[in-house]
């Protein structure tokens, strides 16, 4: 353990087995797998911008570990001029998980890394390509004063959970990955008498509207001169849509 802080990227089964997403209707299976890979690579790139923290990848099923390793290798090769990406494999630990409900995977991941001795952990979904590193900084900073952080989504779910080692009683009460995870988490926390701190609203990819939201965020990044955020996602979407305006194509 090189740090007292860790960021956990919880990746849903890339193949989607047992975890259907309504957004799948927009693309065929092969395209969606490629897009998920781009989502994950962009999420990992944003997390890698945070210095001084260890990076953990929780992925199911175990057979998909090679998928995550290939993504890390691809980033290391593509951005070889930047030291943080050349050394990405050294900073990153991949933890294979069984295909169990996302609520159980969340609890398992949080328990595993707190047991490893981390004092503060932040868990995010693996398909958040425009995740702002400053938001991750904020979550880690808030954990110095608050034992539990939640990041709500537009639909009513959670895209981020921050937990301190002295708040283990919250494990099993909080989760990512559904449109009701925020309401379920906060109801369970309230019943247990636990308080939490919210950070800014965002999204968790699951619906066609989330793709449109991502496109708007990418366009805004380019408008303000950020040519780097969600670059892998932008390239894959542009290839699929074949030059048409991305937002219009998603609504066809």
Tens digit of pLDDT per residue, the chain (252 long)?
557 999 999 987 665 544 545 555 667 777 878 888 999 999 999 999 898 899 999 998 888 899 899 998 888 887 766 667 777 888 899 999 888 888 888 999 999 999 999 999 999 999 899 999 999 999 999 999 999 999 998 888 899 999 999 999 999 999 887 788 899 999 999 999 999 999 998 888 877 778 888 889 999 999 999 988 999 999 988 887 654 444 444 444
Backbone angles phi, psi at 124, to 5 degrees: -130, 160
Three-class secondary structure of residue 95 per DSSP: strand
Backbone angles phi, psi at 97, to 5 degrees: -125, 150
CB distance 163 to 147 below 8 Å:
yes
Q: State residue 15's pLDDT score.
A: 59
Q: State residue 252's pLDDT score.
A: 46
Q: State residue 228's pLDDT score.
A: 87
SS3 per residue for 131-159: CCHHHHHHHHHHCCCCCEEEEEECCCCEE
Instruction: Tell me the whole-structure pTM to 2 decimals.
Output: 0.89
CB distance 150 to 197 below 8 Å:
yes
Q: State residue 238's pLDDT score.
A: 85
Buried b / exposed e across 146-175, counting CB within 10 Å, b at 16+? Answer: bbbbbbbbebebbbbbbbbbebeebbbbbb
Check residue 115 and give left, alpha or beta (phi > 0: left; psi -120 to 50: alpha): alpha
Q: State residue 211's pLDDT score.
A: 82
Residue whose pair of structure tokens reads 């965020």 in the numeric block: 217
CB distance 168 to 114 below 8 Å:
yes
Q: State residue 204's pLDDT score.
A: 81
Q: State residue 250's pLDDT score.
A: 45
Domains of the chain: 5-206 (3.90.550.10)
Residue whose pair of structure tokens reads 């609890």 in the numeric block: 107
Say if strands 158-164 and 5-11 run parallel, antiparallel, or are unpaired: unpaired
Check residue 245 and give left, alpha or beta (phi > 0: left; psi -120 to 50: alpha): beta
């Amino acid at each position: 353990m090189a740090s007292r802080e860790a960021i956990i990227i919880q990746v849903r089964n890339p193949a989607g087995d047992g975890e259907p997403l309504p957004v799948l209707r927009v693309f065929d299976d092969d395209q969606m797998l490629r897009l998920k890979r781009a989502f994950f690579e962009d999420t990992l790139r944003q997390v890698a911008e945070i210095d001084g923290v260890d990076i953990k990848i929780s992925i199911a099923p175990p057979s998909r570990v090679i998928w995550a390793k290939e993504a890390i290798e691809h980033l290391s090769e593509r951005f070889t001029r930047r030291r943080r990406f050349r050394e990405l494999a050294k900073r990153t630990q991949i933890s294979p998980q069984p295909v169990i409900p996302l609520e159980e995977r969340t609890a398992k991941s949080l328990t595993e890394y707190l047991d490893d001795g981390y004092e503060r952990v932040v868990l995010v979904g693996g398909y958040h390509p425009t995740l702002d590193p400053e938001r991750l900084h904020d979550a880690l900073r808030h954990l110095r004063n608050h034992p539990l952080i939640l990041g709500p989504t537009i639909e009513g779910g959670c895209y981020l959970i921050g937990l301190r080692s002295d708040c283990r009683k919250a494990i099993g009460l909080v989760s990512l990955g559904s449109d009701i995870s925020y309401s379920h988490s906060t109801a369970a926390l309230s019943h247990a008498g636990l308080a939490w701190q919210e950070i800014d609203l965002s999204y968790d990819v699951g619906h066609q509207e989330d793709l449109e939201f991502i496109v708007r965020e990418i366009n805004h990044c380019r408008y303000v001169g950020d040519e780097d955020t969600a670059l892998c996602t932008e390239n894959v979407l542009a290839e699929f849509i074949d030059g048409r305006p991305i937002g219009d194509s998603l609504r066809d």
